[in-house]
């Protein structure tokens, strides 16, 4: 029974973190489509704040044993690659 509860908590934690990461990815994609970052430093600050918040959520889930460290790093790494692509695209514009 306890292992089922742990599995359930892990699945819920993973789903919540994935949903939060998807929200950030959506912000990045909208910004990629508009490429307005150089004119909108506030948007960049929002993305940075969202990324920091997600990294803290992931760290918390890892410390609770609800998420593997490598999964959390992969989630953040994917978003960081998207942010990097956004920065590169904004510089080319």
Q: In the CATH scheme, what is the homologous superfamily, with its name and number, of domain 2-92?
A: SO2669-like (1.10.287.750)
The residue ranges of every structural domain in the chain are: 2-92
Question: Cα-atom radius of gyration of the chain, to the nearest Å?
Answer: 16
Tokens representing residue 4 in the block = 């089922």
Q: Along the 93 residues of the chain, how does pLDDT read in single tens digits?
A: 678 887 889 999 999 999 999 999 998 888 777 765 555 666 778 888 999 999 999 999 999 999 999 999 999 999 999 888 877 877 776
How far is the C-alpha of 22 from the C-alpha of 40, rounded, in Å? 21
pTM over 0.95: no
Q: Is 73 exposed, middle or buried (0-12, 13-18, 19+ CB in 10 A)?
A: middle
């Amino acid at each position: 029974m306890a292992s089922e509860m742990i599995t359930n908590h892990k699945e819920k934690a993973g789903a919540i973190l994935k949903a939060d990461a998807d929200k950030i990815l959506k912000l990045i994609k909208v910004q990629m489509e508009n490429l307005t970052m150089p004119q909108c430093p506030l948007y960049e600050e929002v993305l940075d704040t969202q990324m920091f918040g997600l990294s803290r959520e992931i760290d918390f889930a890892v410390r609770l044993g609800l998420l593997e460290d490598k999964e959390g790093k992969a989630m953040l790494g994917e978003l960081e690659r998207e942010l990097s692509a956004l920065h590169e695209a904004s510089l080319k514009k």
